[in-house]
Structure 1
Amino acid sequence: MPYLEHQPKILIAGAGIGGLSAALALHASGFTNIEIFEASSTLTTLGVGINVQPSAVLILRNLGLLEALDKTGIRTQELNFYNRLGDSILSEKRGVQAGYDVPQFSIHRGEFQMLLLSAVKERLGQDVLHLNHALTGFTQTESTITAQFSQRRDGAPASASTVSGDILIAADGINSTARRLLYPDEGPPKFSGRMLWRGCIERAPYLTGASMVWAGHADQKFIAYPISQRSADKGKSLVNWIAELRIRGKDDADLTPPKTDWTKAVDKSVFEGPFETWTCGGLQMKDLIDSTKKVYEFPMSDRDPVQNWSFGRLTLLGDAAHAMYPIGSNGASQAIIDAETLAKYLSPLLSSSSATFSIPDALKAYELERLPPTAKIVMANRANGPDHVLQLAEERAPEGFDDVYDVIPREELEEIGRVYKKVAGFEMESVNVKARETAGECERLGLRSPQEWV
């Protein structure tokens, strides 16, 4: 197929971080005919905190979003690991403090999503997003792909609609309809046996005011980190916290996740007892839990890597392609890297120098670059990823220790982090080389942060 003499029409199913990042990356590469379809009838700042690694922040910097990120999230300064007794296992600098040329951010997921959406609307138009459009199916020919959607109606049967285009990007999450149609025998996500309870509370800053606390072990863990620059500007800290417990045995053959509704608050008595005496990094876990008005429940689940993401004019992106445990702060980052990679392989279609490169070729090239590393991350996260240092300390010194190096030699401790950074693609040297090579990219493209966020 010769290069495209017209702007291809790109359909994106899903207005989460992956779908919106894909729209921004494609726009920066010269694509302007993009439509986004979201199953939800409204988009709000619901959600909890996430982390965005320097490898992904670099992409966002090059898309002109660094100023807005600085106004919204926290530049993470350090990550501290503790055992369940509060003994320090490891403390390491993060982001710019560690020597990266770009920061790591801790940020509220909902605010991050709205930030991305604001940029999408400024650059692609206010009508780019179609709410209340749940993907139900697709058909394709050699020259087009047609997406089928369902729209809910209050008090009436859902209505159906179709939209045709040149490319369909399925960024429709861990319960992706596109993936279910491509892999009908796969079934639901695989439950880890562990449940996450999450909340946010504004309080006095702790440690550096930009510190992450990771405590416990594989079957009982507590995580906390600040996520709001607006709170920091007031001398406060909006702390996102996560309590994690195993609720199903390791040998249980049932991997089906329990039914939960992450939009409904749950009773704290379900989980808070085991954390009653925990104190780590200057934080009292019981105090965080008790002071939080609403707590939400999330089963920790993922999916097995699949053999292919791209089928003709359709491809998967983000959690639809590689849902992973929230270990190593990587889910959102990998979706953003997907978006940049996809745009890289599609952009030659707008150039006459790409006379024999087709849309299916481009989507397959994207898959070939991104599927292998994300499959490795999925499996690394199942083995606890960088959190493995917590499990080693628990297994070797369950009653605590005075000096962690008596329990885990320094080289072994540091190697766990080095290996994971390499697997996940945020080794400092490679990120910094790319940061210097792409310096000034957003200025060259005339991209800037959405004005309502700065």
Structure 2
Amino acid sequence: MRIIIAGAGIGGLAAALSLEAAGFRDIVVAERSPELLPLGVGLNLLPHAVRELTELGVADRVAELGVQPGTLSYYNRQGQLIWSEPRGRDAGYAWPQLSVHRGRLQLLLRDLVTERLGDVIRLGHRLVNVDGTEDGSTGATARFALPDGAETELAGDIIIGADGIRSALRAQFAPGEGDPVWSGLTLWRGTALMDPFLDGRSMVMVGDGEQKFVAYPLAGPFEDGRVRVNFIAEQRGTGVADADWNRSVEREPIARLFDGWTYDWLDIPAIIENAEELLEYPMVDRDPLPGWVHGRAVLLGDAAHAMYPNGSNGGSQAILDARTLAYQLATTTDIDAALSAYDADRRPATAALLELTRQTGPERVMQIARERAPEGFADVHDVISEDELQQVALEYKRAAGFDPSRLNARSTLSVPSARG
């Protein structure tokens, strides 16, 4: 079986590794960028994704890139604790949570694909369209634009569109969809070197649905005792609605938006002012599609289900897509039935998760606290009961597929005999 993957991001590279582990080797990964660079900032790989990386035999190398957070805590604007919960193994999972730099993770996955499959990545290949998306197709051909203006075609039994939120394949499936949907929130993302905060392994979210700050360590401590922290600052109704992921902006005006957000355990304006780089872009997502499969062409990752970063689930869901698709192709004799099974498994699950992220996901506890006690509280349980706090957290874990008991007990997506 020949498989063409459009896109060498987290989802596309995870798909190549998953397919190889499931016994497929005739794979080409076509990437629009002429060079893969360690771009971006931090992301979190949740335990359900780390389980899949573990079963692929690559989790140890991924873990070397980052930090295993042990706690996630939510605070109001006054710096008062609303809710705190353990993460990863500290929460009873059989696998950790990993905070890593997205660009470094992408380059590691690229290296792993090359180690396991050889020279299968084609750079400078921008997907234009796919022939063979009608029902009954027994193969498909992807057409790519090259940097010199020429075009080339790659034919396969399956074309996987892992080409991101502005996917050419998705646009072919849904030609009238238009631009991604803006939430009204603008994000400013960056990294900064600073002294460790709290216990040194904590993720924190401060604020509410109108304005928020997120921070967690990505690397370190280094020789000087400092750590590299990833942060996200966001505010509603500020900035622009067009999605340019590489727009660099001045630090000082954004730091001023957070004047007064200084606590004895975290100085938010200082972190923003000391950012190594500050990138501005809108928080956008895509509405669910009625189907991800057209003939022998199929969507994966952000191309299928781009969602808000609430809950830190984008990259993790792409890895789950990749593993599920590979499993179905390896265990179902009919390709079309396998693609249909993949769609039936992953599309409803991600649609439900997308809806929860639009309701701010587990961060909803911050908005509840803001609505009920905008000036703060003496005791959080005067505002939100312990049962309500736990229910918000559990609801999201179940929708996202990483409720501890269910994840630990779920059957594997590995195909043990694939390499035999």
TM > 0.5 fold call: yes
Give the Cα–Cα distance (whole angstroms) in 1 for the partners of residues 88 and 50 of structure 2.
10
Are the equivalent residues in 2 in contact too, given 1:86–1:281 (CA < 8 A)?
Answer: no
Distance apart, 1:31 and its partner CA? 0.2
1:330 paired residue among 302, 309, 313: 313
Q: Name 2:152's counterpart in structure 1.
A: 161
2:254–2:272 Cα contact (<8 Å) kept: no
Aligned to 1:265: 248
Q: Deviations over 1:306-326 (max 9, x none)?
A: 100001101000000001001
- TM-score (normalised: structure 2): 0.95
Alignment of 1:366-385 (within 5 A): 366-385=342-361
Tell me if structure 2 keeps the 8 A contact 1:61–1:442. no
What are the residue-to-residue correspondences of 1:26-105 with 2, within 5 Å? Answer: 26-105=19-98
Matches within 5 A, 1:300-379: 300-348=283-331, 354=333, 357=334, 359-379=335-355
1:178 aligns with 2:169: yes
Aligned to 1:411: 387
1:232 aligns to 2:227 (yes or no): no
Q: Would the aligned equivalents of 1:80 and 1:214 in 2 still touch at CA under 8 Å?
A: yes
User: CA separation in 2, counterparts of 1:197 and 1:336?
Assistant: 25
Change in 2 beyond 3 A, CA 1:142/1:261: closer
Offset at residue 236 of structure 1 (A): 2.8
2:150 aligned counterpart, secondary structure: strand
State the Cα distance separating 1:264 from its structure 2 match. 3.7
The one-letter code matched in structure 1 to 2:342 is Y
Which of 130, 141, 144 does residue 138 from structure 1 map onto? 130
User: Does the CA-based 8 Å contact 2:186-2:238 persist in structure 1?
Assistant: no
Q: Verify the 8 A CA contact 1:220 1:244 in the aligned structure 2.
A: yes
Any unmatched runs of 5+ in structure 2?
Answer: none
- Structure 1's 442 and 275: CA in aligned 2 closer, same or farther, altered over 3 A? farther
> Any conservation in 2 of the 1:82–1:280 contact (CA below 8 Å)?
no
**Which residue of 1 is the match for residue 144 of structure 2?**
149
Give SS of 2:25's match. Answer: coil
Moved more, 62-71 or 419-428: 62-71
Runs (5+) with no aligned partner, structure 1: 1-7, 250-256, 448-454
Superposed displacement of residue 261, structure 1:
3.2
Q: Which residue of 119, 124, 128 corresponds with 2:117?
A: 124
Q: Deviations over 1:2-28 (max 9, x none)?
A: xxxxxx110000000000111111100
Partner SS state of residue 75, structure 1? coil
Pick closer, same or farther for the CA change 1:280–1:152 going to 2, 3 Å: farther
Q: Encode CA deviations 1:171-223: one digit per residue, 9 max, x unaligned.
A: 00000000001100111100000000011012221112111010100010000
Cα gap change, 1:396 to 1:47, in 2 (>3 Å):
same
Aligned equivalents of 1:71 and 1:445: distance in 2? 27
TM-aligned CA deviation for residue 232 of structure 1: 2.9
CA distance in 1, matches of 2:344, 2:412: 23
Identify which range, 140-149 or 284-293, moves more after superposition: 140-149
